Amino acid sequence: MKKIPLIICLISFLNIAAQDHFSGINTSRRVGILNAGVNPAELLNLSSKYETNLFSLSINASNNKIGFSDIVNGNNIEDKILKGNEPINMRVDAEIYGPGFAIRMNKWAFGFSTKAYAKLNLVDVDPNLGNAINTSINNLTLGSSTTINNNYNQRLNGTSWGEMDFSLARNLFENEKHKFNAGATLKLLFPGSYTNFGLDQFQGTINVIGTEAYLNNTNAKLNIAYSGNLNGNFANFNDYTKSMFGQMNGVAADFGLNYQLKDKSGYKINTGLSIRNIGGMTFDNAGNSSTNYSLKIQSTIANPNGLAMSQFQNSSDLKGIETVLQNNGYLTKTESNTSIKVKLPTTFTFYADLKVYSKLYLTLYTQQKLGNDSKDNQVTTQNVVSVIPRFSLKNFEIYSAWSANEISGTTGGLGFRVYGFYLGSSSIVTALVSDTKQADLYLGYRLGLK
């Protein structure tokens, strides 16, 4: 028997080593293209006149339910995820930098980079509903009745896309003590794959009768959307990584400002702020579907107890779920489109890198989202606050990123750079000494030329 999509997604998350990509190296004193990804104004601070990015990869997974030891032990993971009444939040995403190039020329700097993204998310999923769908977990009590009344939108969402970024930076003012830069990036977007299952304002009752869980007296707003290249399947993270690039069909922009308080060996303070990912993209492939429904489940002569949740256990894609609900007469279509418009995760970012003593530095970093993750057309992200102490030489650097993440809580990591190679994790320290709810890894190689 096939597992239903919810459980497949949950297990898929655990097989991948949240959104805080390249933490530590992207605010390095050795400035490169990754720094410009945080703030395009940093291009004026390139450590070399010419900068080449060969390859960078970051993959992150975070959740609010299970710890690192649970993943390693692998015992009763589904039970632990679906335990309690706290909504389930999980994020898995990958960010890949391909070839990129930047050049600094007097008061100007220019950059070009290629990127690809893949994201798979659970947002505020009710564990009681998850238990009812996957009745084999046996977290439900015979004869029990559970009433659900949610005032939020439960989402299962997956998105992948590619980018070509063109950046420009200009020095606004500079003297012996102060330096001000401004920059902007234009992003050409190439939509790859998209799926969304949004269950908004869900109200209903789960009754356990015999060995079956039934959903009854239900009202909700339902969005089911998927791009044609996935044919409705959203359960496998690999499906998104295989189709990151489609045809260009979207634009976005980043804007940033940068200030340095200089000293003889570089700077005492390097600080900046930026607003990133202003814009979105449209999925227009053949076979796309985005439909809003009114979901109403009531007792009928054919189904006196309501909807038997076991009907979903052979459904491995969104079409299967949609078909079950339609065949039982529980869906009323309110709006339907073949064009899917999606907003990128717009964020406000602020950072300050402080020279503490000689080669010792301390970075303060925050990323705050400006969009609403509960919206069906919104690509998700996380709020993050980080403190990063570092020891930095010209060709060697070691640092430790400590963060408070919206989903996984407190994490601590370690990273290093040797010449152009860097490797790090934002959670490896807390994974080894405590029971962190995040796992991540990044690495890459870049080359600077005078």
Q: Give pLDDT, residue 141.
A: 64
What percent of the chain has pLDDT above 70?
A: 86
Q: Give pLDDT, residue 408.
A: 84
Q: Of the candidates 241, 249, 246, which has an alpha carbon nearest to the alpha carbon of residue 280?
A: 249
Secondary element (H or E) of residue 11: helix 5-14
Query: Does the pLDDT of residue 435 top 80, yes or no?
Result: no
Predicted TM-score of the model (pTM): 0.87
Side-chain-facing half-sphere of 269: CA atoms under 13 Å: 11
- Among 147-161, 182-196, 426-440, the minimum mean pLDDT is found in 426-440
Query: Does the pLDDT of residue 72 top 80, yes or no?
Result: no
* Interatomic CA distance for residues 46 and 63, integer angstroms: 36
Q: Give pLDDT, residue 229.
A: 59
What does pLDDT average to over the chain? 86
Summarize the confidence of residues 208-234 as an average pLDDT.
Answer: 79
Structure-model confidence comparison of residues 5 and 151, the more confident one: 151
- Among 71-85, 200-214, 308-322, 353-367, the minimum mean pLDDT is found in 71-85
pLDDT bracket for residue 346 (50, 70, 90): very high
Q: Give pLDDT, residue 234.
A: 53
Summarize the confidence of residues 333-355 as an average pLDDT.
Answer: 94
Residue 164 makes CB contacts below 8 A (sequence gap 6+) with: 112, 113, 114, 187, 188, 190
CB distance 297 to 215 below 8 Å: yes
Residue 100 makes CB contacts below 8 A (sequence gap 6+) with: 33, 52, 53, 111, 112, 113, 114
pLDDT bracket for residue 17 (50, 70, 90): very low
235-275 tens-digit pLDDT? 554 555 556 667 899 999 999 999 999 998 899 999 999 99
Q: Give pLDDT, residue 243.
A: 60
Q: Give pLDDT, residue 235.
A: 53
Summarize the confidence of residues 131-139 as an average pLDDT.
Answer: 56
Q: Give pLDDT, residue 322.
A: 85
29-55 tens-digit pLDDT? 999 999 999 999 999 999 999 999 999
Q: Give pLDDT, residue 13.
A: 37
* Interatomic CA distance for residues 97 and 249, integer angstroms: 20
Q: Give pLDDT, residue 39.
A: 98
The dihedral through the CA atoms of 309, 312, 318, 324 has a sign that is negative
pLDDT bracket for residue 9 (50, 70, 90): very low
pLDDT bracket for residue 233 (50, 70, 90): low
Q: Of the candidates 22, 90, 33, which has an alpha carbon nearest to the alpha carbon of residue 441?
A: 22
Q: Which two tokens stand for residue 368?
A: 């705050």
Across 168-181, b (16+ Cβ under 10 Å) vs e yields: bbebeeeeeeebeb
Query: Does the pLDDT of residue 232 top 80, yes or no?
Result: no
* Interatomic CA distance for residues 264 and 367, integer angstroms: 31
Structure-model confidence comparison of residues 437 and 117, the more confident one: 117
